[in-house]
């Protein structure tokens, strides 16, 4: 059906909202045939807005458009025996089935893992939940902001109070982790011929990205607090006010500290600032000293000075600035698709490229996110063939 490194795979996407759809879209970006199985009312996110685009009778949610490119849409009512038979036929032909129902729902619909593997012994099943498939809180519904809080991420994000990340990061990470797990299972299947179940959760995604903040507690016994706009273990590393707009600096080594001092005319061995541990201990004084200097000139002045000195620095860009930035476009991170009702749409592209081909993802052309049931007849005809 398409080109790309995963073009020989068929993925059944029974998921909704964001975590599962994102995982399935990653496969579609790499060329897999992704069949999105939707209930008659459609994926929940088709109604999430504003913003919407298009006329009322053909409107599309920009939220839905963000997670469903490179897919076909098939409407099935899984409470109907006839549609259950259609799903069974799809399972027989698929390589991967992805679902993010609450624990036990797939079984109640008549498709426990045992039956899925009876239909197709090589099937890889990805199951994403909110808090895990077992344990005392397995039955909880999974919503991103709740997972950000329960998983500790909000406790280290923000300056004055716990703050959520500006995108549904728990959902996105669960989808990415799930896609990685599926690829590992597919690699194993090439040796064994057998499928397996891959499980992940929003909670697992949150804890999986604690990184050094996690080991601050598990190893050092220190409970991290709000990180604000500055790195808790490196200084200067963060955001600083100027006369116009903030700039960010990352002095991740002593040599970069010396380069910064040379550019500013400072002594890098000054007491209190001579080593990174000292700078971290005296962070507030260092921030105040830098901002006293930086607020005398506009951001562009400091960005040029820092760039000339080889000190990593940058702007804090708004999204309109990001998508008009030539560097973004040069990386294939903005792509155009032809939507059946909305015309040409610009979408954020895949973050992965191959062989410097300039493509976003593993394919040279991309499919627009489908309208509800757009491929009903084509998929049913394929099953009959």
Q: What is the pLDDT along the chain (385 residues), one digit of tens a residue?
A: 468 999 999 999 999 999 999 999 999 999 999 999 999 999 999 999 999 999 988 999 999 999 999 999 999 999 999 999 999 999 999 999 999 999 999 999 999 999 999 999 999 999 999 999 999 999 899 999 999 999 999 999 999 999 999 999 999 999 999 999 999 999 999 999 999 999 999 999 999 999 999 999 999 999 999 989 999 999 999 999 999 999 999 999 999 999 999 999 999 999 999 999 999 999 999 999 999 999 999 999 999 999 999 999 999 999 999 999 999 999 989 999 999 999 999 999 999 988 866 667 788 889 999 999 999 999 999 999 9
- Report the run of H or E that residue 324 belongs to, with start and end: helix 319-324
The pLDDT of residue 358 is 61
Domain(s) of CATH 3.40.50.10540: residues in the chain: 10-209+329-384
φ, ψ dihedrals at 201, nearest 5°: -150, 165
Hey, how many other C-beta atoms are within 10 angstroms of the C-beta on 56?
6
**Assigned token pair, 239:** 């955001």
The pLDDT of residue 2 is 62
Rounded-to-integer distance, Cα 305 and Cα 370, Å = 48
The pLDDT of residue 357 is 64
3-state secondary structure of 266: coil
Q: 70 and 366 in contact (C-beta within 8 Å)?
A: yes
The pLDDT of residue 354 is 86
The pLDDT of residue 364 is 83
3-state secondary structure of 91: helix
C-alpha gyration radius of the chain: 25
Task: Name the pTM for this structure.
Answer: 0.93
The pLDDT of residue 361 is 79
Closest CA to 33 of 43, 45, 42, 24: 24
Q: 22 and 37 in contact (C-beta within 8 Å)?
A: no
What CATH number labels 10-209+329-384? 3.40.50.10540
231 is catalytic: yes
Hey, how many other C-beta atoms are within 10 angstroms of the C-beta on 172?
19
Which residue among the candidates 231, 301, 339, 366 is catalytic per the annotation? 231
């Amino acid at each position: 059906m398409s080109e790309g490194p995963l073009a020989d795979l068929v993925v059944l996407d029974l998921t909704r909202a964001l975590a599962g759809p994102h995982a399935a879209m990653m496969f579609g970006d790499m060329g897999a045939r992704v069949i999105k199985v939707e209930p008659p009312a459609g994926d929940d996110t088709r109604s999430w807005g504003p913003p919407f685009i298009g006329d009322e009778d053909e409107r599309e949610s920009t939220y839905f458009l963000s997670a469903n490119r490179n897919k076909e849409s098939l409407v099935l009512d899984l409470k109907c025996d006839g549609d259950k038979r259609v799903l069974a036929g799809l399972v027989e032909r698929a390589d991967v089935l992805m679902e993010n129902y609450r624990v036990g729902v797939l079984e109640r619909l008549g498709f426990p893992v045992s039956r899925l593997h009876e239909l197709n012994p090589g099937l890889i099943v990805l199951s994403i939940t909110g808090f895990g498939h077992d344990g005392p809180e397995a039955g909880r519904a999974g919503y991103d902001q709740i997972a950000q809080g329960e998983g500790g991420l909000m406790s280290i994000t923000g300056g004055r109070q716990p703050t959520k990340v500006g995108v549904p990061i728990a959902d996105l990470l669960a989808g990415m982790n799930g896609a990685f797990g599926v690829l590992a299972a597919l690699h194993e299947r090439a040796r064994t011929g057998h499928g397996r179940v891959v499980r992940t959760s929003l909670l697992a995604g949150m804890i999986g990205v604690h990184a050094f903040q996690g080991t601050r507690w598990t190893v050092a016994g220190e409970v991290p607090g709000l990180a604000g706009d500055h790195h808790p273990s490196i200084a200067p590393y963060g955001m600083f006010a100027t006369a116009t707009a903030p700039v960010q600096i990352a002095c991740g080594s002593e040599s970069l500290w010396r380069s910064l001092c040379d550019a500013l005319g400072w002594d890098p061995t000054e007491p209190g600032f001579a080593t990174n541990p000292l700078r971290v201990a005296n962070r507030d004084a260092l921030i105040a000293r830098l901002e006293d200097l930086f607020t005398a000139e506009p951001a562009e002045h400091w960005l040029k000075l820092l760039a000339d000195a080889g000190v990593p620095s940058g702007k804090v860009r708004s999204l309109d600035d990001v998508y008009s930035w030539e560097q973004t476009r040069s990386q294939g991170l903005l792509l155009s698709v032809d939507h059946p009702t909305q015309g040409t749409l610009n979408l954020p592209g895949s973050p992965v490229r191959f062989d410097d081909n300039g493509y976003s993802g593993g394919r040279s052309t991309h499919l627009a996110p489908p309208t509800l049931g757009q491929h009903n007849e084509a998929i049913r005809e394929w099953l009959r063939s």
